[in-house]
Every structure is written in structure tokens, then in C-alpha cells.
């Protein structure tokens, strides 16, 4: 199961990760080895099976009422940069 470098670069872009040349080489080899194993899924007989069965109970919902979080002071205590009660990041250009 061959994987192209371009494909891996594209996946890295989607994942917002970056790899050095060496890491990329290693990753490609590992991918190929793993995907090799996944061939058994391709060969499995799945006739008569569907992705969803919808045989469980319907999704449970909640009532439409305002319930305020009881620890709002600490909600943003893990943010590294705050300003005017907002989270600060470098300017994002559309």
C-alpha cells in the first residue's frame, strides 16, 4: 500500500502538524506498514451489514432553560493571553 509524499504533506496540513524531512520519511514507511495490515478489512465480507441500524432509543434531549456554569471565574484560567475578557491571538486575516 504505497503512500505518496504529497499525500502525507496534505494530511499534515489538514492536521496542522509539521514534520522534518527525516520524520516525514519515517512516517511514510510506518504508514505503509500499517496500511498493509488494513488490507484484511478490504478483503472482509461485509454483505448484509450497514453502517447504521437505528435500533436504539432516540437521542435524549434537554429542556430549553438557562443554566449558568457555576465556576465561570476559572473558565479561562488556563488561557495564556487574555485581554478585555477575550482570548488574545495574533491577528487572523480572512
Partner 1 sequence: MGAYETVIGLEIHVELGTKSKIFCGCSTKFGSKANENTCPVCIGLPGVMPVLNEKVVELAVKAGQAINCKINKINKTDRKNYFYPDLPKAYQISQFDMPVCSDGYLELGDKFQGKKVGITRIHIEEDAGKLIHLEDEDVTLIDYNRAGVPLVEIVTEPDIRSAEEAYNFLKKLRNILVYSEISDCKMEEGSLRCDANISIRKVGSDVLNTKVEIKNMNSFKEVHKALLKEEKRQLELYRYGEEHKIVQETRRWDAGKGRTITMRTKEDAHDYRYFPEPDLPPMILEKKYIDDIKSSIPELPMKKMERFVRDYGLLQKDAEVIIDEKSTADYFEDLVLKTKDPKESSNWLITEVLRSLKEYDEIPVTSKQLSELIKEIKSGSISRNAGKKVFDKMCTSDKMPEKVIIELGLKQISSEGELEKIVGEILDNNIEAVEDFKSGKGKAFGFLMGQSMKATKGKANPGVLKKLLEEKLKK
Partner 2 sequence: MYSVNEIKKGLEEKEFSTVEIVREYLEKIKKKDDKIKSFITLREEEALKEAEETDKKIASGKKLKILEGIPIGLKDNIATKGLKTTCSSKILEDFIPPYDAGAAIKIKEKGGIILGKLNMDEFAMGSSTENSAFFDTKNPWDLERVPGGSSGGSAAAVSAGFAPITYGSDTGGSVRIPASFCGVVGLKPTYGLVSRYGLIALASSLDQIGPFGKSVEDCIYGLKGVQGFDEKDSTSKDVKMPDYFKEIKKGIKGLKVGVPEEFFAHGIDKEVKEKVEYNIKILEKLGAHVEKFSLPITATGLSAYYIVSSAEASSNLGRYDGVRYGVRTDEYKSFKELIVKSRTEGFGEEVKRRIMLGTYALSSGYYDAYYKRAMIFRKKVEKLFDEAFEKYDVVVSPTLPVLPFKLGEKRSNPMEMYLSDTFTVNINLAGIPAVSVPAGFSKEGLPIGIQFIGDKFREDILFRFAYALEQEIKLNLNPWKEGR
β-partners of residue 82 are 87
Of the candidate residues 58, 71, 84, 94, the single one contacting partner 2 (CB under 8 A): 71
- Number of residues interacting with partner 1: please give it, by CB under 8 A: 32
In 3D space, the residue among 42, 5, 49, 43 whose CA is nearest the CA of residue 27 turns out to be 5
Contacts of partner 2 in 22-61 (CB under 8 A):
27, 30-31, 33-34, 37-38, 40-42, 44, 46, 49-51, 53, 59-60
28 binds, options partner 1, partner 2, none, Cβ within 5 to 8 A by partner type: none
- Give the C-alpha separation, 81 to 68, whole Å: 24
Taking the least distance from each CB to partner 1, the nearer of 7 and 25 is 7
For cell 499534515, the residue is: 12
Amino acid at each position: 500500500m504505497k503512500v505518496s509524499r504529497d499525500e502525507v504533506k496534505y494530511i499534515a496540513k489538514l492536521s496542522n502538524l509539521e514534520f522534518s524531512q527525516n520524520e516525514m520519511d519515517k512516517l511514510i514507511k510506518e504508514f505503509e506498514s500499517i496500511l498493509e495490515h488494513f488490507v484484511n478489512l478490504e478483503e472482509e465480507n461485509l454483505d448484509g451489514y450497514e453502517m447504521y441500524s437505528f435500533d436504539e432509543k432516540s437521542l435524549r434531549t434537554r429542556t430549553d432553560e438557562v443554566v449558568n456554569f457555576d465556576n465561570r471565574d476559572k473558565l479561562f484560567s488556563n488561557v495564556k493571553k487574555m485581554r478585555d475578557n477575550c482570548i488574545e491571538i495574533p491577528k487572523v486575516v480572512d
